[in-house]
Amino acid sequence: MDDKLPGTLPGSRRPGRGPRQAQEIYRATLELLGGGGYDALTVEAVAARSGVNKTTIYRWWPDKDALLGAAIVQSSLLRFDVPDTGTLRGDLSGLVHRLVGLMTGEATSGVVVAALAAVAGRPSLAWLAREFVTDRLAGERAVFDRAVERGELSGSVDPALVLDLLAGAVWSRVMLRQAPVPDDFADEVVKVVLEGCAVRA
């Protein structure tokens, strides 16, 4: 009996055959994307690299855009656990640390750059960026809900805006400036952001 992955993506018929096989397909998809960019990514190449029959892949994802969307959103390669340190500052610092790792890691940095390049150059893939951000924000929302309950954060603060500020700082440092990321970078970025949105007496 096949275990099914949760959720469907635009253009996909079904989310995947099962966690084990789907992750192999996703990993092959992202490795090909990171190695040669969007144009080098084909369903045939994914099938060869993953060892899964091409017809099986097409049964679940009708084209490479649907497959790419599923891989970016659901692959374990681009996922990280949402921290729960007991404080908003600690949770956000943990998220920034994980994001830095995603953008600088040997196995993930090339994939991140190639995925963003693919989305930026193709308006038809705009849904992919929205799906990815929506999926991540849904998981990270708990950080803000807990902070509001503890009285650390105003309920009027937009979590998406805070995450944009944090992610933007990481993106600017790593991708645009290509500057070293010191060990205290996450703590410093979070400190600056929280000074503007923390609950004040």
- Alpha-carbon distance values, 20 to 3, 27, 75, 152 (Å): 9, 11, 11, 40
Predicted pLDDT of residue 148: 95
Q: Is the pLDDT of residue 124 over 90?
A: no
pLDDT per residue over 55-80, tens digit each?
989 989 999 998 998 898 888 888 88
Cα separation, 65 vs 68, in Å, equals 5
| 151: alpha, beta or left? (left if phi > 0; alpha if psi -120 to 50) | left
Residue 73: predicted pLDDT: 85
Helix, strand, or coil (residue 198): strand
Label residue 165 by pLDDT band (50, 70, 90).
very high
The predicted-structure confidence for 9-37, as pLDDT tens digits, reads as follows: 444 434 444 446 899 999 999 999 999 98
Run of H or E including 44: helix 43-50
Q: pTM score, two decimals?
A: 0.78
Domains, the chain, in order of start with CATH, read 19-74 (1.10.10.60), 80-194 (1.10.357.10)
